Amino acid sequence: MATHDYRTISKLDCPHLNELNPAQHSDKTACETCGETRNLRLCMTCGHVGCCESLGAHDTEHHRATTHPFIRPHRCDYEWLWCYDCGAFLA
């Protein structure tokens, strides 16, 4: 089983912060690519909903296609913000 060493940086240290749309939301309840309903991620630039790395990784596929840098959990009880370009969670 692979382990990941994720890092966290301050939002102030992220040079992509001007691309963040904190008001972004979506009413979608499934991944737009495969229909998965678990572990969804919301693109904070355009509102695209994709499944996470442990499933189909359609969140990362969307990032590679668009270069939109930020995702957060969608329809979950927990909250975090990830910047693909920094490769880090933002605090």
Residues of the chain with pLDDT under 70: 1-5
- What is this structure's pTM? 0.89
Who contacts 62 (Cβ-Cβ below 8 Å, separation ≥6)? 33, 43, 48, 50, 68
Beta bridge partners of 83: 70, 88
Q: Which CATH class is domain 40-91?
A: alpha beta
Q: How much is the pLDDT for 4?
A: 59
Q: How much is the pLDDT for 73?
A: 97
